[in-house]
Structure 1
Amino acid sequence: MESFTFPVKINELPSTLNPLLRTLQSSSILPALKPSSVPDGIAAFLFLLSALGYVTRGRLWDKPDLHYKVWFERPQLAGGASSIKGVTTRNVAQRLEEGDYQAVIFWGSQSGTAERFAETLGRECYTIFGINALVADISDYDAESIADLQQKHFAIFLLSTYGEGDPSDNAAGLWDWIKRNKDQATRVESLRYLAFGLGNSNYKYYNRVLDVVVDALDAAGATSLIPPQRADDAEGATEEDFQSWKDDLFALFRVLGYEQKAVAYQPTVSVEFGDSAQSEKDDSVHQISVHHQQTSLNSAIFPLPVRISRELFTAGDRNCIHMELDLGNNDVVYKTGDHIGIWPCNPDEEVERLLETLGLSDRRKDTLTIVALDDSAKPKVPSGSTLEAALRHHLEICASVSRKIAFDLAQFAPTPEARAMLTEIGQDRTRYEQFTSSTHITLARLLKLSSPLEPWTALPLSFVLENLLSLQPRYYSISSSSVISPRRIALTALVVNKEVADENKSTIHGLSSNYLLSASKLPSNAKAATPSFQHTSSVSGEVGTVFAHVRKSKFKLPITSSTPLVLIAAGTGFAPFRAFLAERAKLHALGKPVGRMLLFFGCRSPESDYIYRDELEKLQETLGDRLQIVTAFSRDGNNRKVYVQDRVAEESETVLEMLNAGANMYICGKAGMAREVDGKIEEAATQQKGMNGSEVKNWSDGLKKRGKWRADVWG
């Protein structure tokens, strides 16, 4: 009978394994590994080999890439936010003293617009008026320290509102302090401030964050130097509204005695070209480096393979995609009701157009060395990226160009005609609005229109990098249940294409939706040619990959499955309800008690865009009288257009009955629809409950505070 001996000596193994093996040797485990047969010996050997593999993972093999996180972090945060920004304290008053600043510009931004405005304003305060202003992410400082600001300083607040009157993620600390201060009554008599809000009037709580902050500061004794103003993105006027407010701000500066100077362009970042040889080796890293910070709300970004794609529309010239992404073995997890953030890239055509108009087509593969020239500058592109990667993966080159940028471009125009055209539309708001109403003006298209023959070789690349927005994720409600499909995320995306009323009948293609359509490899139903995108293949090379992260949401099912549900959706707003209903149907099939569900769903026509109709019919069979479906069709061939809010009004008695019985109500879709639904329900409550306006508002606000009335809306 052969005996089995351990194949290596302890002193020949890595030191990290010595404690484990000594424990095994001193115990009864290792001596017991003396099998009575060759198969037993092999089994024992394989057991020990597996144990060694498990213990050495991450030490001897499958070591983590220490630089992996750099792919997904903001360039300005590399090495820590404090070290980049020079922050030595979380007390903003102390920071102003340390840096000899005269003002602080706080920004609270969800999509990056308020942040960009703050950076621009900070530069202009210094170059035009000599005002040294600290541009500050609100989350970098303790909100309580705002009360320590001295009267010789002043504070500027640029605050965005999103969702149902919610502050941006980075403004949570300020929001909490404002709410706490109602009870603590901290006085801020020495605070002089100015405020500008970014919002969308389609939402019920338009610019609520600005209003709450301003009211709280005024109540605490602060002095507003000029009345607060509000941008309205519903009218596409955010840039113009900001420019108008800034004109008033600069007029105030002149009144306060600051001398206005006419200054030439001064870059805040240095941009130099390097060799293309190094980029050939490293470009795969730079093309997925994005501006994203992992937080408690947002996961890291991962490349997720596309496993299933199918078209949901059955007729017409539009596409609606159902796509499923494989989470694999990475660390991304989601819960039913969460959002997925898709990170698109820019289309090939727009990248090529911009390279050509800049006269830089032959330098597309050259690397860029980007260095901030002052503490407030935040490069939007990581140094070492190629020019092509910067334009494709880091900058919003498909976005419209503001009037101010058009005016500032004039100084670099290659021809007198181009300079005259840009100066004209840049100085006259009416002329600019007429021009842009019939033409989609991206930076490349504006440059080409103003100078069809001459490239813009005199335009500094630093100007391009400073004035274009950072590429941002687009969010979609997850349409799968984490209970049923924990390692696969489904999303539902309407492909957006908007025709422009110009002589060429051109089309504005939705960036993210067309990117997903391209990744799905489904044919386009659009009449116009669709843009082409560069996609990364999965390891197998058989399917495409999209980069995405998960964002936590409060749009959740109640813990108790017997709680009744009122679900109200139009179009792709049905996406999270697909997950809700599938999860409830699973619980019902397992014999769990399931509450009554009333679903309102609206779309154009039952023949063309009634998405997931087959699934809904099967759910109806499974759930029986537990599920009632009420539909609304706005273009079903008759003369009457019926919308979701109309059906809600017709069934308002049932809705109120369910709410009174403890139901949770969820609304998902466009903000305008949600506002109309709110109005119909509150109108019904006024009539049926005999309440006045303030009583109805208190009733609806109470339901919302308790999480019984939730909305997930957009645009």
Structure 2
Amino acid sequence: MDSFNLSPNILELQSTLHPLLKTLQISSTLESLKPSTAADGVAIVLFLLSAFGYLTRGRVWDRPDPFYKIYFERPQLADSEISNRTAATRNIAQKLEEGGFQVVIFWGSQSGTAERFAEALGRECHTRFGINALVADLSDYDADTIAEIQEKHFVAFLLSTYGEGDPSDNAAGFWDWVKRLQEQKTKLRNLRYLAFGLGNSNYKYYNRVLVIVVDALDAAGATALMPPQRADDARGANEEDFQSWKDNIFTLFCGMGYDQKSAAYQPTVNVEFGAGAHSEKDMIHQIPAHHQQSSTTSAIFPLPIRSARELFAAGDRNCIHMELDLGNTDIIYKTGDHIGIWPCNPDEEVERLLKSLALDDKRTCYLSVSPLDNSAKPKVPSGCTLQDALRHHLEICASVSRKTILDLAQFAPNPEAKTMLLELGQDRQRYEQFTSVTHITLARLLQLASPNETWSFLPLSFVIEALLALQPRYYSISSSSVISPRRVAVTALVVNKAITNETSSTIHGLTSNYLLSASKLPSNAAFPTPSFPHTALQPFEGGSVYAHIRKSKFKLPITSSTPLILIAAGTGFAPFRAFLTERAKLYTIGKPIGRMLLFFGCRSPSSDYIYRDELEKLQETLGDKLEIITAFSREMGNGKKVYVQDRVAEYGDKVLEMLDAGANMYICGKAGMAREVDEKIEDALMKTKGLDDGQVKAWVDGLKKRGKWRADVWG
């Protein structure tokens, strides 16, 4: 027997078949199972084979591969990198102890503002007070470990609110923990905290995230070191409100016994000029380096412009319909998604800043940019030219903050410039009065403070740190992915805001004017518009724009027979153009579609009634399936302006009837309009059903939780 060794597989097979054979009692029942026909024989064989296959699966055949997971591991990760990732703790209390940190500054950010503020606060804690601060993404740590933080440490929260009072994506885990605090009766008696919220008072749930977090922490026994403070982007006061909160924190630190040091400039990045000349063929450094592809956002691609047309029939404004070709990119969009357009800065502002810095002769020199500490995140990639940095990576057209004005004073080329900057930067009231009548970019400020001397001693690192990273501007896609899956339509109102002052200057909307220039359509404005360079891609004629797709929850219901209520003003109609054309296509091929009620508002039917011809054709196609109700604010009947929210109030009973019948309601446009629409519907609900405030809120919240009431709005 020693020479006859059964293999492990045969032994396993034997052990598997033994109970089967025993159960069937093969030896004693074969005669009784003797088939009477050939069909019976085949059936018995198939039964035995099926039983054999079932009982041996995973043992003899189709065995799991223990190394299957390797197929999903990135081979470029070295063993050391893997071990480092494994070793990184998600326990924030442990991280504070191991790193010798005195404070953790948590940020929850959707657009990057809260993150930027958190990084600035962390730097100044160190430079001014010698406080070792950890600036932390909320998603990098397990929220329940916040309860383990010792009393010798303290925590700062910078939390943004967007949409329907929602937290930022990176704060999802923290948000769930906050909501569980009361249920689990967690005690946070050792937690000392500071809190700052970012929101927009035009939205119904202004700074809701901050309010709920603070209430939960206080109820759990945490100690607020000072009252929480809220920023209001509706007033353009984010920077000022943050500065005020930060000043209060520094006063608190002084009261806690920390010595404040002089705030001399200390760069966080090293910037040097390298050798080489700019090549027009090198486009890689025109793509913003800080954009992160994720499950909700695609990579950035240069998308060729296939067509463009003007939507306004008259007036001194432009509204562009532009179609971009997705071509062979791996971008996929769905109806209702957003497109992020990455503009470049206009020629005039780039030239103005180069001249003010006395760096015109270095515009094509390559930059070497490297961080000087672990917390610094360079906004400009190494290897790009100075001109590309100013054109494609930094917000040089944004208004300068009061803190930046104060910090600039130490580099002033003459005493007069220094005095002017200090007076403007130290007085908030004077700064707000000045900026209310003057759009002051960095270049314009440098020229205003020192009209006859350049700022040749201003470090380029300071310029890069003081300016914000260039951000995309998002537009609701106005095409249907069902009808044009490889072509994206953008609907953009060109914004130009006049400022009443001695020079009658104008603030030009950066991205909308960039798109107007790229479209090669004539401007309807009565004043000159900015000029931009554009990328030409062969073999396509015309230019292209850099863009990416961002997923949205603003989607049509799965069932096409679900009724729709669509409420929009101006370019808020963009996603509804996609919704209606998709529904019309389904209708023409015989699919059942639900009734649709469209409210649309604009100034006048003769000037800015966008897509009017298309809507009339859709009305012909859909018949009584589509009802259009318009509101024109400049066509006043009886001396009264009519807005879309007024028409919603007028048809309140019909709106409620459709909602009760299962309709989905969508609102798109400015946040102020959306808030008033909400109020009109709630008023109608109280009047029609006799509900009180609490019942109305519960009814509305129920619709929103089920996805029957959605809004896609902006400030």
TM, length-normalised to structure 1: 0.87
Structure 2 counterpart SS, 1:317: coil
Counterpart check, 1:244 vs 2:207 = no
- Any residues of structure 2 matched to 1:121-520 within 5 Å, and which? 121-277=121-277, 279-280=278-279, 283-520=282-519
Contact preservation (8 Å) 2:317, 2:525: yes
SS in 2 for 1:176: helix
Cα deviation per residue 1:266-300 (whole Å; 9 max; x = unaligned)? 111111111133x4388422122432111111111
**1:630 aligned residue:** 629
Superposed CA deviations along residues 43-94 of structure 1, whole A, max 9, x for unmatched, are xxxxxxxxxxxxxxxxxxxxxxx9xx9xxxxxxxxx99998x9993222222
Secondary structure of 1:136's match? strand
Tell me which residue corresponds to 1:587.
Answer: 586
| Aligned amino acid, residue 699 of structure 1 | W
User: Offset at 1:541?
Assistant: 4.7
More divergent stretch after superposition (88-97 vs 608-617): 88-97
For 1:659, the equivalent position in structure 2 comes to 659
Paired residues of 2:288 and 2:470 also in contact (CA < 8 A): no
User: In structure 2, how many angstroms separate the alpha carbons of the residues matched to 1:143 and 1:228?
Assistant: 20
Matched ranges for 1:49-64 at <5 A: none
| Equivalent position SS for 1:297 | coil
Evaluate the alpha carbon distance shift between residue 264 and residue 86 of structure 1 in structure 2; reply closer, same or farther with a 3 A threshold. Answer: farther
Identity value in percent: 75
Q: Provide, for residues 102-121 of structure 1, a one-character-per-residue CA deviation record: whole Å limited to 9, x for no partner.
A: 11111112222111111111
**Residue 59 (structure 2) aligns with:** none
Letter matched to residue 573 of structure 1? G
What SS does the aligned partner of 2:320 have? strand
Name which of structure 1's ranges 362-371 and 184-193 shifts more when overlaid on structure 2: 184-193
Q: Find the aligned partners of 2:378 and 2:334 in 1 and give their Cα distance.
A: 34
Counterpart contact for 1:319–1:524, Cα < 8 Å:
yes
Over the aligned positions, Cα root-mean-square deviation in angstroms equals 1.9
Report the more deviating stretch, 381-390 or 166-175: 166-175
Rounded to whole Å, the distance in 1 between the matches of 2:713 and 2:588 is 31
Any idea what SS the aligned residue of 2:613 has? helix
Residues 290 and 393, structure 1, Cα contact 8 Å, conserved in 2: no
Deviations 1:7-50, CA, capped at 9 Å, x for gaps: xxxxxxxxxxxxxxxxxxxxxxxxxxxxxxxxxxxxxxxxxxxx
For 1:441, the aligned partner's letter is: I
Question: How far, CA to CA, are the matches of 2:81 and 2:707 in structure 1?
Answer: 36
How many angstroms does 1:189 deviate by? 2.3
Amino acid at match of 2:169: D
Could you list the per-position Cα deviations for residues 603-642 of structure 1 after superposition, in whole angstroms to 9, with x for gaps in the alignment? 0000000000000001101110010000000002653210
Provide closer, same or farther for how the CA distance between residues 283 and 328 of structure 1 changes in structure 2, counting only shifts above 3 A: closer
The amino acid across from 1:218 in the alignment is D
Tell me if 1:116 matches 2:133. no
* Distance (whole Å) between structure 2 residues aligned to residue 289 and residue 115 of structure 1: 17
The answer to whether the 8 A contact 1:112-1:470 is kept is: no
The 10-residue stretch of structure 1 (164-173 or 640-649) with the greater mean CA deviation from structure 2? 164-173
Tell me by how many angstroms 1:697 deviates. Answer: 0.9
Structure label with greater radius of gyration: 2
Partner of 1:50: none
* Aligned AA (2:218): D
Contact 1:86–1:375, Cα closer than 8 Å, also in 2: no
Q: Is the 8 A contact 1:195 1:228 kept in 2?
A: yes
Q: Secondary structure, in 3 states, of the residue corresponding to 1:529?
A: coil
Is the 1:604–1:634 contact (alpha carbons within 8 Å) kept by the matching residues of 2? yes
Alpha-carbon separation, structure 1, partners of 2:670 and 2:597: 20
Q: What is the identity, as a one-letter code, of the residue corresponding to 1:165?
A: G
The residue identity in structure 2 corresponding to 1:274 is G
Per mean C-alpha deviation after superposition, the further-off stretch among 116-125 and 133-142 is: 133-142
In structure 2, the CA distance between the partners of 1:281 and 1:95, relative to structure 1 (3 Å rule), is: farther
Q: Which consecutive unaligned segments of at least 5 residues does structure 2 have? A: 1-73
Structure 2 counterpart SS, 1:420: helix
- Give SS of 2:283's match: helix
Q: CA 1:80–1:482 in structure 2 vs 1: closer, same or farther (change >3 Å)?
A: farther
1:29 maps to what in 2?
none
- The 8 Å contact of residues 289 and 379 in structure 2, kept in 1 or not, is answered as no
Change (3 A) 1:629 1:281: closer
Q: State how far apart, in whole Å, the 1-side matches of 2:415 and 2:93 are.
A: 48
For 1:387 and 1:332, the matched residues in 2 are separated by 30
Aligned to 1:33: none
Which whole-Å CA distance do the structure 1 matches of 2:143 and 2:384 have between them? 36
Cα contact 1:195–1:214 (8 A) shared by 2: yes
1:135 Cα deviation from its structure 2 partner: 1.1
> What SS does the corresponding residue of 2:250 show, helix, strand or coil?
helix
- Partners of 1:637 and 1:599 lie apart in 2 by 21
The 3-state SS of whatever aligns with 1:186 is coil
Question: Residues 81 and 582 from structure 1, CA distance in 2 versus in 1: closer, same or farther, beyond 3 angstroms?
Answer: farther
Give how far 1:354 is off.
0.6
Q: Equivalents in 2 of 1:241, 1:637: separation in Å?
A: 39
Q: CA–CA distance in 1 between the matches of 2:288 and 2:593?
A: 45
CA deviation vs aligned residue, 1:397-452 (integer Å, no higher than 9, x gap): 11001111111111100111110100001011111112111110111111111111
TM-superposed CA distance for 1:192, in Å, is 1.1
Q: Is the 8 A contact 1:269 1:377 kept in 2?
A: yes
Deviation for aligned residue 1:137: 1.8
Question: What is the DSSP-based 3-state SS (H/G/I as helix, E as strand, rest coil) of the residue aligned with 1:667?
Answer: strand
Give the equivalent residue in structure 2 for 1:678. Answer: 678
Q: Distance in 1 between matches of 2:290 and 2:376?
A: 15
Moved >4 Å (runs of 4+): 79-83
Matching residue's letter, 1:275: A
Equivalent position SS for 1:408: helix
Instruction: Specify the alignment match of 1:30 in structure 2.
Output: none
Identify if the C-alpha distance between structure 1 residues 637 and 662 changes in structure 2 by more than 3 Å, giving closer, same or farther: closer
Q: Distance in 2 between matches of 1:173 and 1:492?
A: 35
Contact 2:304–2:540 (CA<8 Å) still a contact in 1? no
Q: Measure the CA separation in 2 of the matches of 1:299 and 1:469.
A: 22
Q: Residue in 2 aligned with 1:552?
A: 551
Alpha-carbon shift at residue 504 of structure 1 (Å): 1.3
Tell me the CA shift for residue 710 of structure 1: 0.6
Q: CA deviation at 1:97?
A: 1.8
SS at structure 2 position matched to 1:280: coil
How has the CA–CA distance of structure 1 residues 281 and 649 changed in structure 2, closer, same or farther, with 3 Å as cutoff? closer
Q: Is the 8 A contact 1:283 1:386 kept in 2?
A: no
| Alpha-carbon distance in structure 2 between the residues aligned to 1:447 and 1:86 | 49
Residues 519 and 281 of structure 1, relative CA distance in 2, 3 Å threshold: closer
Deviation at 1:390, TM superposition (A): 0.8
Q: Residue 296 of structure 2: SS of its match in structure 1?
A: coil
TM-score (norm 2): 0.87
Cα deviation code 1:304-349 (max 9, x no counterpart): 1111100000100100000111111211001111111111111111
**Kept in 2: contact 1:283–1:389 (CA 8 A):** no
Q: Tell me: CA distance 1:570–1:82, structure 2 relative to 1, closer, same or farther (3 Å).
A: farther
Q: Secondary structure at the match of 2:202?
A: coil
Per the alignment, residue 41 of structure 1 pairs with none
Say whether the 8 Å CA contact 1:157–1:195 is kept in structure 2: yes
Q: CA deviation at 1:491?
A: 1.1
